Amino acid sequence: MKYSILYKRSAADELLLLPASNAHKVKSAIDNLAVNPRPQGCIKLSGLINEYRIRVGNYRIIYAIADNVIIVTVIRIAHRKDAYR
């Protein structure tokens, strides 16, 4: 079963601002979430119900999974030093 990928407007803007070499890797990782929304290495964020993060180099992708409607929503894409602020 393939999940749909949705982006918050702010996350889409953050993706556009990434350097080209990193943007390609991040976009590829996000596309892989459609097939497997909980890949090896993903970490569930504590204190939140359905939010996870994955690491892509120095960048973090924070996303939410809605299993009942088969949607992955990308909430934030940020450098690791800024990801949790």
Neighbours of 9 (CB within 10 A): 7
Cα distances (Å, whole numbers) of residue 66 to 8, 17, 22, 69: 14, 27, 27, 6
63 in a structural domain? yes
Over 90: is that where the pLDDT of 3 sits?
yes
Over 80: is that where the pLDDT of 84 sits?
no
85 in a structural domain? no
**CATH code at position 23:** 3.30.2310.20
Per-residue model confidence (pLDDT) at position 47: 85
73 in a structural domain? yes
User: 28-75 pLDDT, tens per residue?
Assistant: 999 999 999 999 999 999 988 899 999 999 999 999 999 999 999 999
User: What is the number of domains present in the chain?
Assistant: 1
Give the residue numbers spanning the domain of 54.
4-79
